[in-house]
Every structure is written in structure tokens, then in C-alpha cells.
Amino acid sequence: MIQDYVEKFASPYRAAELGFVDQVIFPKDTRKVLIDAFSQLENKLDEKPKRKHGNIPL
């Protein structure tokens, strides 16, 4: 029963098939994948919405 559970639910490949994870990264490729991901975020600008309400004087 344990092996059946592991095959059905505890496998990263099964989770990728079901869409729970985007990608399964092999240990030898981890550094390259992380560097690529962080380089895409390097120049990202996060635009914050303008304030709807200010502080009222008390």
C-alpha cells in the first residue's frame, strides 16, 4: 500500500502531470534554472496602486 501511495501521490512527476508544479528540475540543472529565473526578475518594476484614502486630520 505504501508503494502504491508513493507512485500515485508522492512523485514530483505525477504532481507535474496534474499541474501542481510548473517544472521538475534535476539537481545538476538547478543552478542554471535559478540564474535564468532571477535574471528575468532583475529589472522588474512593481507598480503599486495609488492610495484611495488618506489620513483624515483628527
Say what the pTM is.
0.54
Question: Is pLDDT of 2 > 90?
Answer: no
pLDDT at position 25: 92
- In this model, does residue 55 exceed pLDDT 90? no
Residue range 4-54, pLDDT digits in tens: 887 777 888 888 888 888 889 999 999 999 999 999 998 888 888 777 777
In whole angstroms, give the CA distance from residue 35 to residue 41: 10
Instruction: Say how far residue 31 (Cα) sits from the centre of its chain.
Output: 16
Give yes or no for residue 3 having a pLDDT over 80.
yes
Residue 56 confidence (pLDDT): 74
Q: How many helices (H) and strands (E) does the chain have?
A: 3, 0
